Amino acid sequence: MLNGVIDIHVHPGPSIFPRSVDDFQLATQAGALGMRAIVLKSHEESTVSRARLVAGMVAGIDVYGSLVLNDYVGGLNPFAVDLAIRMGAKIVWMPTVSAKQHLDHYGGHGYREQKSAVTLLPQKGITILSPKGNLFPVVYDIIDLIKEGDIVLATGHLSPRETVLLVKTARERGLSKVLVTHPDLLLNRMNMELQYELANTGAFLEKSMLSLLPAWKSIEPEELVKSMRNIGLERCVLVTDLGQVDQPPPGEGYHQFLQLLLHHGLKDSDLEVMACSNPSFLLGLS
């Protein structure tokens, strides 16, 4: 049903947020649906060791880990980046729930759409920009580590302003695998002109199922499809961003996503580019 599809943005448990599946359930279900690979994402910790354990126990699907640079791993921490890359991480995400943009939008590290199961220390909010509007030097170090490791730099929940400067700088420093995180979600939504500008720099842009679903609804399907065509399918990556308990399980959600896009005029060959070819390139798969 999902032969060859890759989901590089999915949220299994364990997590401080209630999840519909754990790592093993996700991999088992995704493999049974014919998916080629998944990338585990956690706001709270590196999933690299988790992914290696799951990959050794669930056959028929590739399972990869990632790192999100939130306060829980030291924020903009090149030592955490270096370790994650050497342990096999495929994606390093800029801050998400610790990002200043996120905290400004939600008033805290959590979400209105889903509640954390625990109460954590308050956070000040991470920005990658100095008071003068320049990137902090450590951001250059992180970009260079990611380039050397030939993995993906994802923009997380940074503001559009931060994202533009980060993407431009990463591309200028020769990083080929730059991914703009859910630019259609209300949290950090970008207009079409900005998305087109980022794609023209050589960045990839996520197009997520979550942005179409109740509670998280940020865009209509017709507008999402239009954005894919305007940006160019070769610059778009389909993801679910699922794992929330009140939403479909990720594998089922991916199937629904593809069916919805077909219903709104995309072709099988279009979906193959965004669901298979582009994420395969980003993960370094043959």
Give me the pLDDT at residue 263, please.
97
We find that the CATH architecture of domain 6-283 is Alpha-Beta Barrel (3.20)
pLDDT at 109: 82
Q: Tell me the whole-structure pTM to 2 decimals.
A: 0.97
pLDDT score recorded for residue 175: 98
Cα 109 to Cα 46, 53, 104, 254, distances in angstroms? 18, 28, 9, 27
Per-residue pLDDT at 57: 97
Residue 7 has a pLDDT of 98
Q: What is the pLDDT along the chain (286 residues), one digit of tens a residue?
A: 789 999 999 999 999 999 999 999 999 999 999 999 999 999 999 999 999 999 999 999 999 999 999 999 999 999 999 999 999 999 999 999 999 999 999 988 888 888 888 888 999 999 999 999 999 999 999 999 999 999 999 999 999 999 999 999 999 999 999 999 999 999 999 999 999 999 999 999 999 999 999 999 999 999 999 999 999 999 999 999 999 999 999 999 999 999 999 999 999 999 999 999 999 999 999 8
Predicted confidence at residue 119, as pLDDT, reads: 86
At residue 114, the pLDDT reads: 84
What residue ranges do the domains of the chain occupy?
6-283
